[in-house]
Amino acid sequence: MARTIKQLDVGTSVYIEEAGVPKEYVLLKKDDEGCIVLRANAIKRQRMNADNVAKYQGSEMDDYLCDEDTGFLSLFDDQTSAAIIARGRPTYEEGDDECHYISRRAFLLTFGELCAESSTPTEPVSPLVAALMIWKGTNNPYTAREATDDEGHPVIWWLSSPCSATNFCYVSYGGTSNNNFASGSNFWARPALNVSAETIVSDEGADKIFLLPSEDSKTAHKRRYVAPVRRRMIDSDESANILCAFCRTFTPKDSCFDTVIHEPKIVGGVRSYEYHVCPDCGLKMLKNLVESVTSVTNERNDDEE
């Protein structure tokens, strides 16, 4: 039976495809504006600003996260992108005690959401940290805030809150908070998204919960132009497995294919992604491609006649 993301408990893992590859996110908050999901792993090293100006709005980080052409939001297909909606985000500037709100679909979390102590004695941590603790299965809020990159290496990651005219807050390796110059280059982006509360997710009982788990999304090659595939060459570690981008089954990587998919963008042009696919999906893609070429050729022949 179909269900929506708002029906999930906070602290639940939700997998969202980035350039066709499922990535884990954790549901942190549900309210009238949508559902905040935080990427399980940090995505890349990214400074906040080239000059040491601690202003989040219009910063290099803000621009990267909101860029739909080459930045973070460009990783999502049209269907997923439509499910990522704007919400008001608090922002401060050093020297100005007034909180301002900006509208963002992708953003960093704030110091107040993750590191500030709760003022309620019965709730010693913020609701978002409590959700992270559920997700990690820990009673330690510091452990809950620790993060790694996609390779499993520990990272320090930015928060959007300034603590001076030149410094932003960040979460350290041990889950504590600190601050650094905005131009710091060894700090990572760990993006959060605001997803529409009515977005469909996997049925109850599924091994993993996916955002928008339609049959069409599992066989994405049926709605995209697929370039000819080629056999993947393997240099080492031939016993390892790779996740097929389409059927999501693990296959020994020495039997996988590489393919490039060109997907139209709403604003024009195309995005090109490289995927790994299992032999069965690879053969289906070849068959679809041959049928498409044959159909176009026959239509042209008919026109010429």
Cβ neighbours of residue 172 under 8 Å, at least 6 residues apart? 156, 178
One domain for residues 231 and 188: no
One domain for residues 22 and 142: yes
Give the Å distances, CA to CA, from 117 to 31, 129, 137, 177: 21, 10, 20, 12
- Boundary residue ending a domain (161, 195, 229): 195
If pLDDT is split at 50, 70 and 90, which confidence band does 2 have?
confident
Structure tokens at 256: 């996988």
One domain for residues 272 and 183: no
Give tens-digit pLDDT for 51-68. Answer: 999 999 999 999 999 999
Considering the domain boundaries, does residue 208 fall inside one? Answer: no
What is the rounded CA–CA span in Å between residue 30 and residue 98? 25
Alpha helices by DSSP H, the chain: 60-66, 78-83, 111-114, 127-136, 141-145, 215-218, 279-304
Considering the domain boundaries, does residue 143 fall inside one? Answer: yes
What is the rounded CA–CA span in Å between residue 145 and residue 140? 9
The number of beta carbons lying within 10 Å of the beta carbon of residue 16 is 23
What is the rounded CA–CA span in Å between residue 244 and residue 39? 21
Query: Domain span at residue 289?
Result: 220-304
Contact 116, 129 (CB under 8 A): no
Considering the domain boundaries, does residue 203 fall inside one? Answer: no
Contact 178, 157 (CB under 8 A): no
Give tens-digit pLDDT for 241-253. Answer: 555 555 555 666 5
One domain for residues 8 and 156: yes
Give tens-digit pLDDT for 145-175. Answer: 999 999 999 999 999 999 999 999 999 999 9
